């Protein structure tokens, strides 16, 4: 919780500074703040479908929150500075004052539940309760419903597990790996692994945000029988061949 609160504080401070001091011609710090926002917004605009603007803010917020929380977990002292505590068998154990937020399943599970509620809510908003339930519970063709409906339900619910466990597993494994490397070789080798964990922190934040965007996009898609080529981002309409000009060979 402390790591998550620190990430929230960093984002709130950056937002406050940006609101008060933003300029038309951005300086270095303003450009640094705008860079990830514009980059993620461009991805959502290009792959989020026609209604991308409705959920772009949520995707950007999730990405920034997870990224900052992951980077805070890599700071010196996080997970290694704490209070001594006597274990069950009398052995001394360390209770860290701050740990990486995503190294605790409560954090990742909470974010996954937020993403789950978001894509269900957008699906109901776009298609109505009956339309959303029809897409979820009635298969196509209809005679496959008894077989496919349980699979659809399990698939929907498993998204919460996959989102939370993927982020938790990668960050927790990185935390354990760095701790082991610091004990075995406290000088150069941990620095190399630390650089690798910075990349992992970025990639996992991006994956979580893009999966959230994908689930929302799928939930708000129109019914299968009304789908058109324009509903699928990344595809171009067919180009009609120009008719030859009169007199041309």
Reported as a single tens digit per residue, the pLDDT across 147-190 is: 878 888 888 888 899 899 999 998 888 888 887 887 777 677 77
Query: What's the confidence (pLDDT) of residue 248?
Result: 46
Domain residue limits, the chain: 2-85+92-225
Query: What's the confidence (pLDDT) of residue 114?
Result: 93
Most confident of 99-108, 219-228, 240-249: 99-108
Structure tokens at 246: 């009169």
Query: What's the confidence (pLDDT) of residue 87?
Result: 67
Three-state secondary-structure class, residue 40 = helix
Query: What's the confidence (pLDDT) of residue 249?
Result: 40
pLDDT band at 136 (very low <50, low <70, confident <90, very high): confident
DSSP secondary structure, 75-118, as one string: STTTTT-EEEEE-TTS-EEEEES---GGGSHHHHHHHHHHHHHH
Alpha-carbon gap, residue 37 to 123, rounded angstroms? 25
Q: What is the mean pLDDT of residues 199-219?
A: 91
CA 83 and chain centroid, separation: 33
Query: What's the confidence (pLDDT) of residue 70?
Result: 92
Query: What's the confidence (pLDDT) of residue 155?
Result: 84
Query: What's the confidence (pLDDT) of residue 221?
Result: 76
Q: What is the mean pLDDT of residues 103-114?
A: 92
Tell me which of 67 and 144 has the higher pLDDT: 67
Looking at the DSSP bridge assignments, the partners of residue 85 are 93
Alpha-carbon gap, residue 28 to 170, rounded angstroms? 32
pLDDT in tens, 47-103: 877 888 889 999 999 999 999 999 998 888 777 777 877 767 777 777 778 888 898
Alpha-carbon gap, residue 237 to 240, rounded angstroms? 9
pLDDT at residue 4 is higher than 50? yes
- Whole-structure pTM value: 0.78
């Amino acid at each position: 919780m402390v790591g998550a609160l620190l990430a929230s504080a960093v984002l709130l401070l950056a937002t406050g500074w940006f609101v008060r001091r933003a300029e038309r011609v951005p300086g270095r710090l303003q450009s640094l703040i705008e860079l990830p926002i514009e980059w993620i917004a461009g991805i959502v605009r290009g792959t989020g479908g026609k209604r991308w603007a409705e959920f772009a803010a949520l995707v950007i917020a999730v990405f920034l929150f997870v990224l900052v929380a992951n980077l805070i977990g890599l700071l010196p002292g996080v997970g290694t500075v704490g209070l001594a505590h006597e274990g069950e068998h009398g052995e001394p154990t360390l209770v860290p004052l701050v740990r990486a937020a995503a190294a605790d399943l409560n954090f990742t599970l909470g974010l996954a539940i937020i993403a789950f509620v978001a894509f269900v809510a957008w699906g109901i908003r776009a298609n109505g309760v009956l339309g959303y339930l029809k897409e979820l519970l009635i298969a196509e063709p209809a005679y496959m419903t008894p077989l496919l409906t349980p699979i659809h339900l399990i698939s929907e619910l498993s998204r919460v597990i996959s989102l939370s466990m993927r982020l938790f597993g990668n960050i927790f494994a990185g935390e354990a790996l760095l701790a082991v490397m610091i004990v075995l070789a406290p000088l150069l080798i941990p620095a190399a692994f630390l650089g690798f964990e910075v990349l992992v922190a970025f990639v996992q934040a991006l994956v979580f945000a893009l999966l959230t965007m994908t689930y929302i996009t799928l939930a708000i898609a129109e019914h299968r029988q009304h789908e058109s080529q324009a509903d699928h981002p990344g595809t171009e309409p067919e180009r009609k061949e120009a008719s030859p000009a009169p007199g041309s060979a």
